[in-house]
Amino acid sequence: MPQQEQQQDFDHGFQPGDHESQKAFIEFRIKQLHNRRFMLLEMQRFRKKDDGVSTAGELPCKDSDQLCELEKIRSELEQLLAKKEELERQRNASEPSANGGTLPFTLITALVGKCIK
């Protein structure tokens, strides 16, 4: 199953080269998980509707493979969102400031400029 292979790649430290490709991979995986979650919830809703079971209560994980998978999806989504936030923090820390220079360089330039005047 391709989804499992991608999960294994992510779990085993597969990471594309730069921040943008890592972020794109994470966003793609998040979309896959959201789609799978939606499909599982719809299947669950139709089955409960057919069985006449109320949708208010959920079956324990051991009684429903779909609920186990939903829990795994939720857990992976949390991990991916945390990784995405970490990548964004790292990118923001390594990106130049708005004026085109890094903060230390900008400060040094300002100090040197004052010394020259």
CA 46 to chain centre: 29
More confident residue, 29 or 102: 29
* Most confident residue range from 15-24, 69-78, 92-101, 106-115: 69-78
Residue 100 is part of which domain span? 2-116
pLDDT of residue 71: 94
Output the pTM of the full model.
0.58
Token code pair at residue 80: 């991916």
Q: Answer whether 22's CB lies under 8 Å from 15's CB.
A: yes
Mean pLDDT of 80-100: 80
Give the chain's domain count. 1
User: For 11-55, what is each residue's pLDDT tens digit?
Assistant: 445 454 677 889 999 999 999 999 999 999 998 888 888 777 554
